[in-house]
Amino acid sequence: MAVEVGDAAPDFELKDQHGTPVKLSDFRGKKKVVLVFYPLAFSGVCTGELCTIRDELPTLGGEDDVQVLAVSVDSVWALRTWAEQEKYPFPLLSDFWPHGGAAQSYGVFDDTKGIAIRGTFIIDTDGVVRWKVVHPPAEARDFREYRKALAEI
């Protein structure tokens, strides 16, 4: 079942690229979260999207107010290599096992391909989804939409 605007964001705990557990609910009351599901590390569209987020992160409202969490089914080790290569300053979370569990809880898991589709959810400090956009794996998202949505929250 897909998560809709106005729903409570399903909580999860996943390991980041360093193997450190990250729990979505830890940001409640502290920061808005831009939760970005993407198909696979090292792919062209995914690299382009996350590099844009990396480069434009300061325009989202600053690290004190907004936390980006990027999620894929890749292993922690692949995510660490990719994060180091691209110098991503935000956590890359491994939804490796149970395979795609977090993506499934948000309704953005393609069970025929075993990957997340491109889903972004902006979650307010109360843990409520305030904006979402979903695209097929081959279609990049427009970063300007993130900035606009965050400004309206």
Q: How far is Cα 11 from Cα 42, in angstroms, rounded to an integer?
A: 27
Q: How far is Cα 59 from Cα 111, in angstroms, rounded to an integer?
A: 34
Which entry of 40, 46, 103, 115 is annotated as an active-site residue?
46
**Token pair belonging to 48:** 């382009």
Helix, strand, coil content of the chain in percent (nearest 5)? 30, 25, 40
Which single residue is written with the structure tokens 């843990």?
A: 127
**Has 51 been annotated as catalytic?**
no
Spell out the residues 6+ positions from residue 46 whose beta carbon is closer than 8 angstroms to its own: 38, 39, 40, 72
Catalytic center residues: 46
